[in-house]
A and B are shown apart, each in its own frame.
Chain A
Amino acid sequence: MNKTKKKVRPGIIAIHIIMIILCLLCIIPFLLIVISSITEEKTLLMNGYSFFPEKLSAYAYTYILSGNGGKILHGYAVSFGITVVGTVLSILMTLLYAYPLSRRDLPGRNIFAFFVFFTMLFRGGLVPSYMMWTQMFNIKNSYIALIVPNLLMNAFYIIMMRTYFSSTIPNELIEAAQIDGGSEMKILWKIITPLSKPMVATLGFMTVLGYWNDWMNGLYYITDATYYSIQNILNRMLLDIQFLSSAAATQLGTAADIAANIPSTGVRMSVAVIGLIPILIAYPFFQKYLIKGIMIGGVKG
């Protein structure tokens, strides 16, 4: 084709500019809370949250880490715990359901598939679910409430996993393993799962996001703040300015005295930043799986 040097066309520059503006729009809001979290409290009270604060200070973070933020650190541990346990359970259950579903020789295959698919079309909604979980299963104020309702299995993920199995894993492989006398469990565990690592990573990361970011289960089923995850603490802190001071007061003494000393304007933002960090650290490692997952899942519907 043309041998001349690649000229940079104005159209391309315009597209770069548009994309860069979009990217900045995605990042700048985060910068505001990050910078606010390291702004000195007095500066915050005087000038508000700002991108260019007069005076910086790490006080909000030392305040949390030096033991005043017991609730916050505990909530952080709760979030980690439910995310790990929930994700492992969820992936196991999804694998166990999706694998038989991917096999053409499963009796009643269509019924099982429809059983999953129907949950995407029709839902009972909050009221019956709430009544069932609180009255029949009594899970109010327990860690189970943060793990089990709604989040454990996602019909969409099961279908994605099944499609992945049936489109990438050759039938002959399974047949060969069966001839060698491998049990179905062994085949799933030793052959199918290792071959499906990209899909497991994709759904794993999406499930991690689901658990780490979830605050609705906590809102519905938790009234005792000792079971709060970091998201529930954040939720309460924003809607209820007294929450942080009352939490500290019970640990430290008189409420009035504490309320005056709590750098709540900055601490709020630092807790939000702390809640954000694990996702942003994990993201670069999983972004290629996430993007692939969105592409596969989205197109297949």
Chain B
Amino acid sequence: MMIPGTIYLIINNYIPMAGLVLAFKKFNYQFGMWKSPWNGFSNFKFLFMGSDAFNMIRNTIVYNIVFIVLGTILAIAVAIFLNAVPGNKSKKTYQTIILIPYLISIVIVSYIGFAFMSQESGFINNSLLKDNPVSWYTTPSVWPFILVFIHLWKSFGYNSIIYYATIIGIDPSLFEAAEIDGASKWRQVLHITLPSLKTTIITLTLLSIGRIFYSDFGLFYQVPMNSGPLIDVTNTIDTYVYRALLTLNDVGRSSAAGFLQSILGFVIVWLTNFVVKKVDKENALF
């Protein structure tokens, strides 16, 4: 029974892991992945020659940290609001609607972005900023905000529902007792709800930290419409690897960057889990 799945995982996941050795090879299409000659660390040397490497690693990490912090705060706030909404019907309706952005592909998100921000026909330039239109797709300074906004817009519903699931699992007698003691709603949130969310917050944050060297390729490539002038603020490890591999055909540098991503990603998952295990065994992932 498990044969098809095992074979698939070996091919789809395990062979590429072994393929990471490419980072130390001088790739040659004639010899392929396994037989290309070794060339030590020279791919990495090339990778770190320009400023690209530091820039993309910094972008990836900084965006992720902002996403984690703001995303968690927003999701918890919405979950608490959702829980405070009286009536199951309105609760269901709100839940259903805030999930809609999560359902659609990032390509369609980029169309929405385009409809708002296009230079000639965008809604913002034509209806809101008629007198001094902004050339959004060539103005790097606004993109950190746009990308953070779009990320939060697309993901807050999903995360809120995870936190909401934890909130409805809290023993209701705790709230009843607090009510009798005359605790305000705010104090109840502060002293009952938030502490009960601790495990979920740690788990989700751990998972996000584990992915801190990864980015949503579509968000950073498709939404800014692959615009050259924006590259300083939109280049992440994933977009770099893609561009180096498929548009520049630079297997050496892209495999070196991919190697760093895989290894650092693994090390950081292991490390965060190790730290959590030391501090609080219950919350460790594995």
Contacts and interface: CB of A to CB of B under 8 A. Distances in A.
Interface string A29-63: 11011001000000011011111000000000000
Contact of A234 (B22, B108, B161): B108
Interface string B24-47: 000101001100000000000000
Nearest to A124: B16
Given A16-B85, A135-B33, A279-B103, A295 B162 contact: yes
Contacts of B242: 126
Contacts of A122: 17, 262, 265-266
A298 B157 CA distance: 13
A283 B81 contact: no
Q: Is the interface of B mostly helix, strand, loop or mixed?
A: helix
Tier of interface size on chain A: 35 or more
Interface string B209-233: 0100000011000100110000000
B166 to A, nearest CB: 6
Contacts of A117: 286
Residue among A50, A150, A272 with max Cβ neighbours from chain B (10 Å): A272
Contacts of A85: none
Nearest to B110: A238
Interface string A74-113: 0000000000000000000110110111000000000010
A212 B147 CA distance: 23
B13 interface: yes
A110 to B, nearest CB: 12
Given A26-B153, A131-B19, A279 B115 contact: no
Contacts of A269: 111, 115
Given A123-B265, A124-B262, A188-B1, A130 B225 contact: no
A239 interface: yes
Contact of B99 (A16, A29, A112, A287): A287
Given A48-B123, A48-B126, A283 B19 contact: no
Interface in A274-299: 275-276, 279-280, 283-284, 287, 290-291, 294-295, 298-299
A287 B121 contact: no
A100 B93 CA distance: 38
Interface residues of B, number: 96
A119 B126 contact: no
A132 B15 contact: yes
B16 A132 contact: yes
Given A112-B2, A121-B269, A238-B114, A45 B258 contact: no
A127 B207 CA distance: 24
Contacts of B118: 48-49
B4 A216 contact: no
A234 to B, nearest CB: 5
Interface string B1-27: 110111011011111111110100001
B200 interface: yes
B115 A130 contact: no
A209 interface: yes
A294 B79 CA distance: 13
A128 B94 contact: no
A115 B84 CA distance: 42
A155 B107 CA distance: 25
A179 interface: no
Interface string B82-116: 10111000100111111111011111101110111
Contacts of B123: 32, 48-51
Interface string A3-47: 000000001100110110011011101101100100000001101
A100 B2 contact: yes
Interface in A181-230: 184-185, 188, 209, 212-216, 220
Contact of A49 (B95, B101, B121, B255): B121
Nearest to B270: A121
A103 to B, nearest CB: 10
Interface string B238-251: 10011001100001
A119 B85 contact: no
20 contacts: A12-B84, A19-B81, A19-B94, A29-B116, A33-B115, A48-B127, A119-B14, A123-B17, A124-B14, A158-B5, A215-B222, A216-B218, A239-B222, A276-B104, A287-B96, A291-B95, A294-B162, A294-B165, A295-B162, A299-B200
**Closest 5 A/B residue pairs (Cβ):** A124-B16, A128-B19, A48-B126, A298-B162, A213-B105
Given A125-B20, A234-B107, 12 more contacts: A19-B82, A19-B90, A27-B97, A48-B118, A96-B1, A97-B6, A125-B261, A128-B16, A152-B8, A275-B105, A299-B165, A299-B169
